[in-house]
Structure 1
Amino acid sequence: MKENNINTKKTSYLIKRFLPYFKKYKWVLILDLFCATLTTICDLVLPMIVRYLTDMGMNDVESLTVRLILTVGAIYLGLRVIDLIANYYMANIGHVMGAKIETDMRRDLFDHLQELSYSFYSNTKVGQLMARITSDLFDVTEFAHHCPEEYYIAPLKIVVSFCILCSVNVWLTLIIFAIIPVMIFFAMKFNNKMRTAFKKSRNQLGEINAQVEDSLLGVRVVKSFANEDIEGEKFKEGNEGFLNVKKEAYRYMAGFQSTTRLFDGIMYITVVVAGSLFMMQGIITPPDLMAYLLYVVMLLASVRRIVEFTEQFQRGMTGIERFIEVMDEEVEIQDSPDAKNLQAVKGEITFDHASFHYADSDENVLTQIDLTIKAGENVALVGPSGAGKTTLCNLIPRFYDVTEGRILIDGIDIRSVTTHSLRSKIGMVQQEVYLFSGTVYDNIEYGKPGASKEEIVQAAKLAGAHEFISQLTDGYETFVGERGVKLSGGQKQRISIARVFLKNPPILILDEATSALDNESERIIQQSLEKLAKGRTTLTIAHRLTTIRNASTILVLTEDGIQEQGSHDELMSKGRLYSRLYNMYTTNEETVGN
């Protein structure tokens, strides 16, 4: 998804993609358009009433009785009551329909975002996604409600008015309506430019969101380097860029509105001049001219509503287009049509000639990996950065799919089972712990939604977290703050381990789970991880090599694949890469300690 793409799709294509969202509310929409018809009839009747009464007053004033006038007034008042009810329905239920469509689109967008792969999020700014799922869809409510109404009422009024006016005088009607196509031509020229400008403004707003999110989430780094001025300049640049884009949009909008106002004046003066000339020649009567003027006022009011709605229309189209851009992102990891649930997992993992490269590169990160990890075995992965240790582990829960070969669990190809059942059997503890905004209880329960308090407390005890949780101000009901900012790194890690204890998966992946901790926290966490790994198939990505000495098998992974394999003692006795890495690490540790 290209964030700065300003190429706009055809309006007809966008509307075609948007129409299915009306399906659930088709009867609401039909009744809404019926009400729009009623309000239109009420508007069209008034000029005819004025013409009728004026004509009688000029040609047969004696027949213009109080009773007739009151009857006509009562009829029109009745029409206005109908108009009141119809307009209330349009303003209330019609808007609710638009809000429901916006809600449905936001739900679909969020669901689709949940399905997109790691690679999508690696190339997309979260601030841009926030703009697309919130502000981009705000205008859809007004668009979904008003678009059918406005583009139904305006043509209806134009067609009916044309027929009525033709019955009065064909030539004057043709003169007036000949101006409308010219007006539409100029309006369309500005329309397209407005659309492009509004999309630019949406993209720029997304960039501002991304920049603000980046600065606020990294506020501690900003303050520690005293770089508030730098962040302020970055924001100023984005903010002024947004202003410039909006200036461009408003310039085209002003041209659009000014042009339509010019044609307003042309239509009025045409009716007055041509109508007066026809009246001098006896072709039309004064009541006819008055009716013409009233219909022109009504027509121009309709055109002005369309003009005023055009900005909303373009905003709505832009929001729909940006919505479709995300919805069209391909879901890379999908269940096969005949996928089955993975059940009763023992935990044997097999890499069978597995290779992998990222979508934006043809160079393999992993090449022809052949590996079998027995059920319950504790395997550690070591090696230089960039060798593919994390990537190898991410292939097991299908965060990415192998580009060649296959991965099996208990002899079953993981691509033949549902991703939900596969991932439910795998627990992950990572270096970067993410805690959701909420309480300690909520974050542990995330491992097994609906778990009892007893289960959550037991999981916390197994993770060595119960003691410090009990000392918090509100215990398990303590709010952790955004991303767990109120807790230390060790406390957050223990909560994440408790979460996995609660999940109780047969396969466990530990991705440098202690590398960012101090020695004391590492010792406590390591004890918890050893408890957690007991009886499970465990893969540990190790940064601190002393923590994996007791692993049953250690794999040394490099860019050329698995270079060494064996226990700690076996690999040390060979004196090759693992031995050098271990000696280098322990030497550095001793140096730091001294």
Structure 2
Amino acid sequence: DRIALALVVLFSIQALLNYAQTYLLSAVGERVVAGLRQELFGRLLVMPPGFFAERRTGELTSRLTTDIGLLQGVLSHQVAEFSRQILALVGGVILLTLMQPRLTLTALGVVPLVVGSALFFGRRLRRVTTSVQDKVADATAAAEEAFSQIRTVQSFVQEPAERQRYGDRIRESVRAALVRAQIRGVFFGVLTFSTFVGIVIVLWQGGLLVLEGQLTPGELVQFLLYTITIAAAIGALASFFSSYQEAVGAAQRVFEILETNPSITDPKLPVDLPAGTRGSVSFEGVSFRYSRDPDLPWTLEQIDLTCAPGEVVALVGPSGGGKTTLVSLLPRFWDPDRGRVLLDGIDIRSLRLADLRGAIGIVPQDPALFSGSVRENIAYARPGASLEEVESAARAAHAHEFIERLPAGYETLVGERGVKLSGGQRQRVAIARAILKDPRILILDEATSSLDTESERLIEDAMAKLLVGRTTLIIAHRLSTVRRADRLVVLDRGRIVEEGTHGELLELRGLYARLYQRQFREDEPAVEVIAGRD
């Protein structure tokens, strides 16, 4: 009875220790993985737009999910099993050595073969796993692209083509995964063969020792049982090693991002942006190209432009002339290859990014809304803004009326990328967001391109009030909407070719005059966005 009770207590303690070991190691692994995910996501957030232009969203998402998922499996689950098997292996070898040192050396003779095969196949597993993860990322990117463009896919009846494209990516990932499975299969086959060879040798050598009277049959059976226990531990460790190598392959893709330094960062010794920023903007000898190839033409070349505080400057010209690229240099989405950009006489590269971008409000051509509520999207500019402040900004943008008609008002969810709102509604929400931010400098990139005539009438007064006292850069192809700006700057092929007021440029009878006359003939007169400017 005492022996039975002692065994129950012993096994209970073992169970508790196993629980503690599994939980603690898993908790540490989960926290490490969570920290790694946050670190990777944080690193991606500070990458400039050029980084994302060269990579697909689905590929980056795959690194956050699939790649780190492989690491999670090893760190959270298999580390505990690894530690248990190490203890079993070490303990078994010690017991065997105490029982029969000579036979133990015989049993361990297969270890070099096991270690050698592990190293040989491990390197190949790592490379193949990286390839598998790349193929999975390609499939994820294809799916993400199809979902994000679902209206285009369906309107052109391209569902079969997208299914085929995704299927091709999946088949490529399966082929790579099968290569990995073959390597794993050969590895475990070699491991199994080595283990059984070791057991057979132990049985043969042990039988000779029994015949010589150096070992009893019972001791041989006991030795074989311990040997099988060690073999099982070696098999489990080999499985862990295989998973570890696969995790290393995934980790390489993760650390490729973590070790990539963003090309646009805060300066080491930043200059404080004065509280009373006037909003003077200057481009001095600015040249820029997206490609690093020096043989390709400049996207912008020798741009010299100064915007006085509170001045409204319209950038016009043919598509591809460099208008959007020019204003993208101001918030440092890109840095010029030559020249510099100044804010109140300070080189913007000497300012903290948060200070610089905090002084700039942007209403893009295609407003970017998040999948939260209307209120959350407007308050994105100032997360702590009250409902009253949000409503005030919405009223100024003439968005309050349509928001109130939504099912849940300001708490209505707009869907991913704002798909539940019309183009004009999304643009008015974006304008309200810019109003709430109350920036010193405004960038309006085709800010009314999605509004009908009535909507333009509604926001004309709001925009005029918003622009007062703010330095504003407006990009528009609809020339009638900017003809009352303080100054128009005409860009063509990356150069400033004309500059002046609407009337002055018409008198020049140059590029602007030709563009204006062409649009005036083709379109009905559009409502002017900017009022109160003579």
TM-score normalised per structure 2: 0.93
SS of alignment partner, residue 379 of structure 1:
strand
Matching residue of 2:292: 360
Inter-partner Cα distance in structure 2 for 1:224 and 1:165: 73
Deviates more, 1:348-357 or 1:391-400: 348-357
User: What is the Cα-based RMSD across aligned positions, in Å?
Assistant: 2.2
Among 243, 248, 251, the residue aligned to 2:179: 248
State the one-letter code of the partner of 2:505.
L
1:427-442 alignment runs, 5 A limit: 427-442=361-376
Q: For the structure 1 residues 527 and 488, does the alpha-carbon distance in structure 2 shift closer, same or farther, using more than 3 Å as the test?
A: farther
- In structure 2, distance between residues paired with 1:478 and 1:92: 42
Residue 315 (structure 1) shift = 3.2
Structure 1, gaps ≥5 residues long: 1-66
Corresponding position of 2:336: 402
Matches of 1:523 and 1:281 in 2, distance apart? 108
Mapped contact 1:526–1:547 kept (Cα < 8 A): no
The separation in 2 between residues aligned to 1:125 and 1:177, in whole angstroms, is 50
Select the residue among 347, 353, 360 that pairs with 2:279: 347
Counterpart in 2 of 1:183? 114
Sort the Cα spacing of 1:205 and 1:514 in 2 relative to 1 into closer, same or farther, 3 A.
same
Q: How does 1:539-554 map to 2 (within 5 A)?
A: 539-554=473-488
Moved more, 136-145 or 270-279: 136-145
- Does 2:254 correspond to 1:323? yes
User: 1:490–1:525: 8 Å Cα contact kept in structure 2?
Assistant: no
1: CA distance, partners of 2:519 / 2:148: 33
Deviation at 1:220, TM superposition (A): 0.9
Q: Which residue of 1 aligns with 2:102?
A: 171
Comparing 581-590 with 223-232, greater Cα deviation is found at 581-590
Deviation at 1:145, TM superposition (A): 4.1
Alignment of 1:229-378 (within 5 A): 229-342=160-273, 343-362=275-294, 363-378=297-312
SS at 1:288 equivalent: helix
* Distance of 1:310 and 1:178 partners within structure 2: 20
Q: Judging changes above 3 Å, is the alpha-carbon distance between structure 1 residues 489 and 424 closer, same or farther for their aligned structure 2 residues? A: same
Give the Cα–Cα distance (whole angstroms) in 2 for the partners of residues 282 and 582 of structure 1.
Answer: 110
- Match of residue 462 from structure 1: 396
Matched letter for residue 356 of structure 1? F
Aligned to 1:116: 47
Inter-partner Cα distance in structure 2 for 1:409 and 1:591: 35
CA distance in 2, matches of 1:341, 1:147: 50
Q: Say whether 1:92 aligns with 2:23.
A: yes
- The secondary structure found in structure 2 opposite 1:446 is helix
Distance, in Å, in 1 between the alignment partners of 2:260 and 2:451 is 38
Residues 493 and 525 in structure 1, CA contact (< 8 A), matched pair in contact too: no
Instruction: Pick which of 372-381 and 412-421 moved more.
Output: 412-421
* Residues 72-91 of structure 1 mapped to structure 2, 5 A cutoff: 78-91=9-22
Aligned residue runs from structure 1 range 133-212, under 5 A: 133-145=64-76, 149=80, 154=85, 157-212=88-143
User: Shift of the alpha carbon at 1:372?
Assistant: 1.2
Work out the CA distance in 1 between the residues paired with 2:321 and 2:61.
Answer: 34
Distance 2:333 2:41 in 1: 18
Assess if the C-alpha contact under 8 Å between 2:364 and 2:445 holds in 1.
yes
C-alpha displacement of 1:531: 3.0
Using the TM superposition, give the Cα deviation of residue 314 of structure 1 relative to its aligned residue in structure 2, in angstroms.
2.8
> Who is 1:485 aligned against?
419
Counterparts of 1:538 and 1:145, CA distance in 2: 53
How far apart are residue 559 of structure 1 and its match? 2.3
| Inter-partner Cα distance in structure 1 for 2:261 and 2:459 | 39
Q: Deviations over 1:459-493 (max 9, x none)?
A: 00000101111111111111111111111110110
Contact 2:110 2:195 (C-alpha < 8 Å) held by counterparts: no
Could you tell me how far apart the structure 1 residues matched to 2:408 and 2:86 are? 64
Unaligned runs of 5+ in 2: 527-534
2:148 aligns with one of 209, 217, 233? 217
- Measured in 2, the distance between the counterparts of 1:186 and 1:421 equals 57
Q: Quick one: distance in 2 between partners of 1:590 and 1:423?
A: 37
TM-score norm. by structure 1 comes to 0.84
Q: Do the aligned residues in 2 keep the contact of 1:351 with 1:371 (CA within 8 Å)?
A: yes
Quick one: distance in 1 between partners of 2:494 and 2:53? 25
The alpha-carbon distance between structure 1 residues 560 and 305, as it changes in their structure 2 partners (threshold 3 A), is closer
Q: What is the deviation of 1:517?
A: 3.9
Aligned residues of 1:376 and 1:536 also touching (Cα < 8 A)? yes
Q: Give 1:516 shift.
A: 3.9
Separation in 1, partners of 2:168, 2:459: 44
Distance 1:142 1:85 in 2: 23
Structure 1 residues 442 and 560: CA distance shift in structure 2, 3 A: closer
Offset of residue 179 of structure 1: 0.9
Partner of 1:569: 503
Q: CA deviation at 1:74?
A: 6.4
User: 1: distance between equivalents of 2:398 and 2:350?
Assistant: 37
Deviation at 1:93, TM superposition (A): 2.0
Q: Write the distance in 2 (CA, Å) between the matches of 1:187 and 1:410.
A: 63
Distance (whole Å) between structure 2 residues aligned to residue 339 and residue 200 of structure 1: 42
Counterpart contact for 1:195–1:315, Cα < 8 Å = yes
SS at match of 1:276: helix
Gap change, CA 1:478 and 1:378, over 3 Å in 2 = same
Name the structure 1 match of 2:529.
none
